[in-house]
Amino acid sequence: MLLLFVALVANRAAALVVMSAGPVSRRKAIGAAISWSTSVAGSAARAASGDDGSLPDGPLQGDDDIDAKEWEAVGLFLRKLYDEGDDMIFLARNLDSGKKGQAKNLADAFRTSVKKADRPSRDHDRTAFLAAYDDTARFMDTFLELLHDVPDEL
């Protein structure tokens, strides 16, 4: 997207430079595009900030409330996250026998913790959801450490 914008700006600047007398180089066209974009686009970016250079009221206040649509998206995310338990079991197949059982237990515990997070997400209970999230993240971290087989010395 940015590259397209730069190309459009460069084309417009090149057209402006072409209108001037004398030979036109790519360097002049790009220089004109950069100066135009910093003068025009930069002022628009500054206009969106607060008077003292801070964020406008909406982002500054940091709305902590999660609306129903976002909670629905959390529920959909949890369903996808539950399927990661299958991926964990698939990855565990290639581990040595000592780690294989531990990895399967972690995958089962991970799925159980994701299931526990679903109820608070449906009830819109932020505190309970974050507690369930912490358990889920802990199981995932432990599983990823189990996959780590490179010595720390390297």
In this prediction, residue 11 carries a pLDDT of: 45
The single-letter DSSP state of residue 48 is T
The single-letter DSSP state of residue 154 is -
In this prediction, residue 48 carries a pLDDT of: 54
Q: Which two tokens stand for residue 108?
A: 């089962």
User: Within this chain, do residues 39 and 72 fall inside the same structural domain, yes or no?
Assistant: no
User: Within this chain, do residues 128 and 74 fall inside the same structural domain, yes or no?
Assistant: yes
User: Within this chain, do residues 143 and 72 fall inside the same structural domain, yes or no?
Assistant: yes
In this prediction, residue 119 carries a pLDDT of: 92
User: Within this chain, do residues 137 and 80 fall inside the same structural domain, yes or no?
Assistant: yes
pLDDT greater than 80 at residue 71 = yes
In this prediction, residue 36 carries a pLDDT of: 53
pLDDT band at 49; cut points 50, 70, 90: low
pLDDT greater than 50 at residue 56 = yes
Helix (H, G, I), strand (E, B) or coil at 67: coil
Task: Provide the residue range defining the domain that includes 48.
Answer: 2-52
pLDDT band at 32; cut points 50, 70, 90: low
Measure the CA angle with vertex 13, ends 5 and 45; round to 5°.
50
In this prediction, residue 3 carries a pLDDT of: 42
Q: Which of 20-24, 124-128, 134-138, 145-149 has the lowest mean pLDDT?
A: 20-24
Query: Within a domain: residue 48?
Result: yes
Question: Quick one: which of 36, 28, 130 has its CA closest to 74?
Answer: 130
